[in-house]
Amino acid sequence: MNLLFVAGIVIFFIGLMASIALHEIGHLVPAKLFGVRVTQYMVGFGTTAWSRRKGETEYGVKWIPLGGYVRMIGMLPPRPGDEPGKLRSASTGPFQALIETARDAAQEEVRPGDEDRVFYRKKWWQKIIIMAGGPAMNFVLAFVFFTVLLVGIGLPGYAPVVSPQTNTCVIPLSEQRTECRPTDRPTPAAQAGMKPGDRLVSFDGQKIATWDDATRLIRSHGAGPAVIGIVRDGKPQTLNVTLIAQDRPKPDDPTKIEKNVGFLGVMPTEAMQRQSFSQVPAYMGELTSRVAGSLLNLPQKMVGVWHAAFSGEKRDPEGPVGVVGAGRMGGEILASDLSDEKKLFFFVNLLAGFNLAVGLFNLVPLLPLDGGHIAGGIWEGIKRAWARIMRRPEPKYVDIAKVLPLTYAVALVMIVMAGLLVYADLVNPLTLTG
């Protein structure tokens, strides 16, 4: 196996573990701030690889890098009516027994003096902040990664620089060829003496900053003379050109043809285009909308993953990818022939997308996800506000233990989905080329 491929997988998993660790810190910090006793902070699952106790909390790393957790005491309230020194009645109902077992487990670490340090007794807004801290950390990380991506690296695009692949002749749109023939007439750019590497900086006095600017100005000009400012070998020059009218595909929809637009006859150079910081929120917002839409269609997309895994159908590039698949993509990026700049772009984009998806997925209002606890906190806040308005006694804490059967069902579905994604990522992985 290519060493660069292995290195790419390792680098991705280091980034993954760091993201998980920071997600859990998003829970840990507000929990401690609000006085909840936290007994464990762990990155990973399974057997503990390393741990160290500091104060009342054990910090550690486990061998399976597929998640993490913060263990807080008293996540579930005790059974209503339980009082110290009283015999407890047993339940023969399977669901009720399951709930009571979970309640007992949640109370095992509660010591005398911890009555006000249990999670369930915290104010509703504190519960929301504690549970929203993890997804919020993922969103912060995604924003940082997208900022590095747009401002520091840039997005793949085209620079207004004449490409070496530029044809020096006019090839009719109806002819599917790239080579010039002796009978072809030269392009306006070739006639004016334009060369590969020339940067277009102005057109008839109007500034050109991007290839889109150049395309817009040239096309809208139509046929006729124009003055183009260029920079060649670091020196500014001006060239007099005579544009011709041609039928060309629309830039935003190549299936449609624009009639008699201005034609210069140059191709742009592929380059990373750095963006301004002000464009980061809009870029992240658009991706957030797309990821949220994918989550809403997750059942349908998982059907596609099933077919890809067992029927050999092509994976949907917009479909879900598991940790294994994302790791393989990290290896593929590093082992590819892309430039170092593009490798960095794809790596940062992969980590940014991962954090964005994890943050949104954890906001789904179902237990055991963070969103389920957030929903419980919101419902408790609504109940208490309504009681104040109606001048009624303050209601008890929202008992999320009552939805544990649904929680276990959701957890089972998540395990099955994760297993399916792992299998699909192994037998029919999604690659950079789709």
Active site residues: 24
Exposed (0-12), middle (13-18) or buried (19+): which is 144, by Cβ within 10 Å?
Answer: middle
Structure tokens, 241 = 């050109």
- The answer to whether 359 and 113 are in contact (CB under 8 A) is no
| Core vs surface per residue 350-372: b (16+ CB within 10 A) or e | bbbbbbbbbbbbbbbebbebbbb
Answer for the pair 142, 165: CB distance below 8 angstroms, yes or no: no
The residues near 175 (Cβ < 8 Å, ≥ 6 apart) are none
Q: Which residue type does 96 have? A: Q
Q: How far is CA 117 from the centre of its chain?
A: 35
Least Cα distance to 292 among 366, 362, 345 occurs for: 362
Which is it for the CA torsion 162, 165, 170, 176, positive or negative? Answer: negative
